[in-house]
Amino acid sequence: MKAAVYYETGSPDVFRYEDVPDPSVGANDVLVKVEAISIEGGDTLNRLGGELRTVPHVVGYQCAGTVVAVGEQVKNFVVGQRAVTVGIDGSHAALRATPESFAWGIPDGLSTDEAACVPVPWGTADDCLFEFGHLAAGETVLVQAGAGGVGIAAIQLAKRAGARVLATASSDDKLARLGELGLDEGINYARDDFVAESRRLTDGRGVDVVVDSVGGATLQGSIRALAYRGRCVTVGDAGRAPAEHLDISTMRPNNQTLSGYFLGVELLVSPRPHALIARLLDDIARGELRVVIDRVFPLSEAAAAHAYIESRQSFGRVLLTP
């Protein structure tokens, strides 16, 4: 099969478009002919400096397509069915094998391209807001990197739950577009201090929940933006800045909480997030929530697609098609 591979980590130009062996199909596996690959933030970070489980390495968490083979113990998928899959790696390819527990059938009314964008960012956003952030109606949430995949999902989910939604983005244009998705107040972090703005917009109180996919120095600011008994959930390092030593001295006297979150582990230890993602796919198929796709690149141009994401021009998801 064809795949976008690399032999060493680094900038996007490490990608090569080559033939590699087809993946094997285990007893519990589903093999999908890939039709749409959603590039996740973790994909770019892994390409930049992650572990190479194989050489050449096929990176990528998430993709969707049509089932072409199933293992003998698979119960919920048949050949010809559309499916979206998640895995540690392997999405940037023409074929992808994954355990059945890391795959979801695509409901009618939802395109394969849209489905490819759902499990990782939408499952992550929902869990950060509700399972770990305990967001309730009437509370205020701050979503860092609002124009990214997790951000766009979190804005819509929080608004649907009756929260007041603040979010950061790098331009007024992006913030205006986020207003169409439910954003109440936007903060241009390239121009304004988001901590000061969060305090100003809440009359000095701070926000109840922060979903922080940026990390680095931003995470310290997210903690400083919290209200009394506020909850901050850190979910990524999209800012690509080195981890910082956090000053948590203000958290104890304010009874605040800092939680880390990684969807992959939740999927391994519990059936709960699998069912959650299935419900989100249904909600999007019914038009209750909206996937935003920015651009589509051929798989052979994976380097250009990753570079485009890292230029911070994108609004929503960037896809690859084999």
Do β-strands 226-234 and 257-260 pair in parallel, antiparallel, or remain unpaired? parallel
Strands in 257-260's sheet, in edge-to-edge order, are 185-188, 164-169, 140-143, 207-212, 226-234, 257-260
Domain with CATH 3.90.180.10 in the chain: 2-117+291-321
**Buried b or exposed e, range 274-303, using 16+ CB within 10 angstroms:** bebbbebbebbbeeebebbbeeebebebbb
- Which pLDDT score is estimated for 245? 87
Q: For the purposes of burial, counting CB atoms within 10 Å of the CB of 245, is it exposed (0-12), middle (13-18) or buried (19 or more)? A: exposed
Check whether domain 121-264 has CATH 3.40.50.720, yes or no: yes
Check whether domain 2-117+291-321 has CATH 3.90.180.10, yes or no: yes
pLDDT in tens, 258-278: 999 999 999 999 999 999 999
Angle of CA points 18, 23, 28, to nearest 5°:
160
pLDDT in tens, 214-223: 999 999 999 9
pTM to 2 decimal places: 0.95
Banded pLDDT at 236 (limits 50, 70, 90): confident
Is the pLDDT score of 239 beyond 80? no
Domain with CATH 3.40.50.720 in the chain: 121-264
The single residue listed with the structure tokens 């939408």 is 122
Both structure tokens of 254:
């304010």
pLDDT in tens, 56-109: 999 999 999 999 999 999 999 999 999 999 999 999 999 999 999 999 999 999
Angle of CA points 258, 292, 317, to nearest 5°:
70
- Phi and psi, residue 157, nearest 5°: -65, -40
- Which pLDDT score is estimated for 107? 98
